[in-house]
Amino acid sequence: MSAHIEAETVRPVRSWKLSENTRDRLISIASPILLLLVWEIAARTGLIDTRFFPAPSSIFETLVTLSSTGELWQHTAASLQRLFIGFLVGGIPALILGIIMGLSRPVRAVFDPLISATYPIPKSSILPLALLIFGLGEGSKIFMVAIGVFFPVAINATAGVREINKIYLDVGRNFKASRWDTFRTIALPGALPVIMTGIKLGVGMGLVLIAIAEMMGAKSGLGYMIWAAWETFSVEQMYVGLFVIAIIGFVLTLVLNEIEKRLVPWKR
Amino acid sequence: MNQALAKKTTVRDDVATESRERPAIRIKGLSKRFGSFTAVDNVTIDIARGEFFMIVGPSGCGKTTLLRILAGLEAPTDGSIDVSVEAGSQRPVNSMVFQGDSIFPWMTVWDNAAYGLKMRRAPQAQIKEVVGHYLDRTGLLKFADAYPHQLSGGMKQRVSIARAFANDPEILLMDEPFSALDAQNKLLLQEELLRIWEENKKTVLFITHDVDEAVKLGDRIMVMTAQPGRVKTVVPVSLPRPRDVLELQQNPEFGKLVHQIWSSLRDEVQRARELDEAKGVRK
Ligand SMILES: Nc1ncnc2c1ncn2[C@@H]1O[C@H](COP(=O)(O)OP(=O)(O)OP(=O)(O)O)[C@@H](O)[C@H]1O
Ligand SMILES: [Mg+2]
């Protein structure tokens, strides 16, 4: 009897209530809008200095102008291309080296000290050296991104492989998996969750470094656009650059999360 | 499957004619030391082809170590192992069902069960047939596309067993495959295992802490001593086959054997505990 009563009282309540997910999503959309609104009002009423904090509406105007002339897209495309190539150039060797380091003690013994010694160097401080070696062209920019991606991916790949329960490697041996099979069927998939974390870190690092690299001796890219804005005191353009970089970072995170979901379906 | 079954019938004929001369496994004076610690000490035993051989002994007495040596995962310090395979056999020598959770979390049930055959580059048609057969026998066919995290503990254990059987080895090494299961699931899996085993009578080495289980499944039971692990006694089980694990418990012979094994084991478990306490190790 009581079960019956319960069922009837519970049902209407549930249909009125938003699910927690929907509620959280609404809040996370509403809060930036609210912030922009406050900012706009503060800028218009002169509460904040518009030389440093121009109203969002005027930033938006600049964004529309810059994108209608095609300038914004050209810079965005240049940065994205460098980011992508740098990601491959740094990420693929890092992945292979990292996994092999995880599997093989001698290889680890060779590379571990090298990586430990070079990892703490702030990547941005390598920029002058990169300019010296690769010149002002694409090479130095791609190199900077590659460096940023390399370390987190290599370090996480090694850690990921080493964290794989030894029993899985024993299973591989017992079922006569070849070296390549062990790499392909055990080391890589077993380490993938940790590797994905490394890739996310690496992409974030690459984004930071591409912006910095483009401020020095570049003629295109979002970093260049921001730097040029500083030189011409175009604060709005500066904000547009920052805004687009933020959007890129945000979208890349979403994309990588989606990729992770597909590549790692066995993790809840 | 027909072809495989036909092959297995010939294996059974072999047992009758050859087993006395040519045991499947001949272990001679086998020892394993880790540094100064002796895990396995001078184990000598012959295991016949098609025999279901049980190993019991107190925790830490070297049972897993013994099996790992047989599986080629560990090198013996002393002694030798001879594994005789049928002339011209293409089958792998052994497959192990590991103690604890060992199925790959990143593969579906199907891919886990197919692992050995895939590593051997078996033809696709054979993989489909054999894996399908053993997933069916273990009641997992419906879960072929599931990932391990979606399975219960008992189902995972069955995947592990299907993986070893599907590899079609000469010898099956099973390290406490049922120890993590509740009593009901254990009983069901014991029945399933016996049914699958009756199909082709592979040589099985099976470690357990469960004396009832040892008597229910085994042809012979080897009791090992506490550290270092030696052969204390080997008890033959003359209960008729095929066995019904439920009916068996009514059998007076069953009770006698359980009692015999238990009393032999009890002293060793007691001694293992004293050894551990002396070392200040809590098990
Ligand atoms: N690689 C190793 N290095 C050092 N000691 C080891 C190693 N492997 C096992 N041992 C030791 O050897 C002894 C036997 O271990 P083993 O795993 O074979 O025991 P077991 O009989 O399977 O125990 P259980 O019933 O608890 O599974 C243990 O004392 C263990 O600590
Ligand atoms: Mg063990």
Give DSSP secondary structure letters for B33-77: EETTEEEEEEEEEEE-TT-EEEEE--TTSSHHHHHHHHTTSS--S
Residues of chain A below pLDDT 50: 1-13
- Contact: B116, A181; criterion CB under 8 Å: no
Give the mean model confidence (pLDDT) for residues B11-24: 49
Do A39 and A32 touch, CB atoms closer than 8 A?
no
- Find, in chain B, the residue whose alpha carbon is nearest to that of A173: B73
pLDDT in the model for residue A17: 67
- As a whole-number percent, the residues of chain B with pLDDT over 70 amount to 91
Interface test with A, best of B107, B119, B149 (most A CBs within 10 A): B119
Higher-confidence residue of A70 and B281: namely A70
- Contact: B119, A177; criterion CB under 8 Å: yes
Please check whether the domain covering B2-93+171-282 is classified as CATH 3.40.50.1980.
Answer: no
For residues A145 and A143, what is the distance between their CA atoms, to the nearest angstrom? 5
B36 is written with which tokens?
A: 């100064």
pLDDT in the model for residue A268: 63
Question: B117-135 pLDDT, tens per residue?
Answer: 999 999 999 999 999 999 9
Instruction: Tell me the residues surrounding ligand 2 (ion) with CB < 5 Å.
Output: B 64, 99
For residues B29 and A172, what is the distance between their CA atoms, to the nearest angstrom? 28
Do B46 and B26 touch, CB atoms closer than 8 A?
yes
For residues A177 and A180, what is the distance between their CA atoms, to the nearest angstrom? 8
The alpha carbon dihedral of A130, A136, A137, A141 has a sign of positive
Angle at B99 between CA B96 and CA B104, to 5 degrees: 70
pLDDT in the model for residue A221: 93
B92 is written with which tokens?
A: 């792998």
Give the mean model confidence (pLDDT) for residues B218-233: 91
* SS3 (DSSP) at B94: strand
Ligand nearest to the CA of B175: 2
**Nearest-CA distance B42 → chain A (Å):** 24
Residue nearest to atom 23 of ligand 1 (CA): B60
Question: B179-205 pLDDT, tens per residue?
Answer: 888 888 888 889 989 998 998 888 999
Q: Please tell me the distance between residue A230's alpha carbon and the centre of ligand 2 in angstroms.
A: 69
Q: Which of residues 93-152 of B touch A (CB under 8 A)?
A: 94-96, 98, 100-102, 104-107, 115-116, 119-120, 147-149
Chain centre distance of CA B116:
17
Ligand nearest to the CA of B276: 1
pLDDT in the model for residue A15: 52
Superfamily (CATH H level) for A55-267: MetI-like (1.10.3720.10)
pLDDT in the model for residue A186: 95
- State yes or no: pLDDT of B56 exceeds 90: yes
Question: Residue B37: beta bridge partners?
Answer: B34
For residues B228 and B58, what is the distance between their CA atoms, to the nearest angstrom? 11
pLDDT in the model for residue A116: 93
Residue nearest to atom 4 of ligand 1 (CA): B34
Do A86 and A142 touch, CB atoms closer than 8 A?
yes
Residue nearest to atom 31 of ligand 1 (CA): B60
A261 is written with which tokens?
A: 């979901």
For residues B33 and B188, what is the distance between their CA atoms, to the nearest angstrom? 38
| A234 contact partners, CB below 8 Å, separation of at least 6 | A62, A228
Helix (H), strand (E) at residue B172: strand B171-175
Residue nearest to atom 28 of ligand 1 (CA): B60
Instruction: Give the position, in ligand 1's atom list, of the atom nearest the Cα of B61.
Output: 21
DSSP code for A19: P
- Find, in chain B, the residue whose alpha carbon is nearest to that of A165: B102
B80 is written with which tokens?
A: 């030798």
Tally of residues, chain A: 268
Domain residues of chain B, as ranges?
Answer: 2-93+171-282, 105-168
Do B106 and A266 touch, CB atoms closer than 8 A?
yes
A226 is written with which tokens?
A: 């921001």
For residues B82 and A40, what is the distance between their CA atoms, to the nearest angstrom? 84
pLDDT band at B22 (very low <50, low <70, confident <90, very high): low
Angle at A90 between CA A85 and CA A91, to 5 degrees: 95
For residues A52 and A43, what is the distance between their CA atoms, to the nearest angstrom? 10
Give the mean model confidence (pLDDT) for residues B73-99: 87
Q: Which residue has the tokens 């050209």?
A: A74
Q: Does B167 touch chain A (CB under 8 A)?
A: yes
A12 φ/ψ angles, rounded to the nearest 5 degrees:
-60, -35
| pTM score, whole prediction | 0.80
Do A122 and A161 touch, CB atoms closer than 8 A?
no
From the list A150, A115, A137, A119, the residue with the least C-alpha distance to A213 is A137
Do B207 and B64 touch, CB atoms closer than 8 A?
yes
Angle at B197 between CA B176 and CA B113, to 5 degrees: 70
Task: Among A173, A185, A265, select the one facing B73 at the smallest CB separation.
Answer: A173
B229 is written with which tokens?
A: 């692990």
Instruction: Give the position, in ligand 1's atom list, of the atom nearest the Cα of B67.
Output: 18
Domain residues of chain A, as ranges?
Answer: 55-267
CB atoms within 10 A of CB B98: 25
- Contact: B106, A268; criterion CB under 8 Å: no
CA distance from start to end of chain B: 45
**Residue of B34, B55, B205 best suited for mutating to test ligand 1, as the one with most atoms within 8 Å of CB:** B34
Q: Please tell me the distance between residue A207's alpha carbon and the centre of ligand 2 in angstroms.
A: 50
pLDDT in the model for residue B246: 86
Checking DSSP bridges between strand B231-236 and strand B25-34, what pairing results, if any?
unpaired
Which strands sit side by side in the sheet containing B231-236, from one edge to the other? B94-97, B171-175, B203-207, B52-56, B220-224, B231-236
From the list B99, B95, B101, B79, the residue with the least C-alpha distance to B26 is B79
Mean pLDDT score of chain A, rounded to an integer?
A: 89
* SS3 (DSSP) at A175: coil
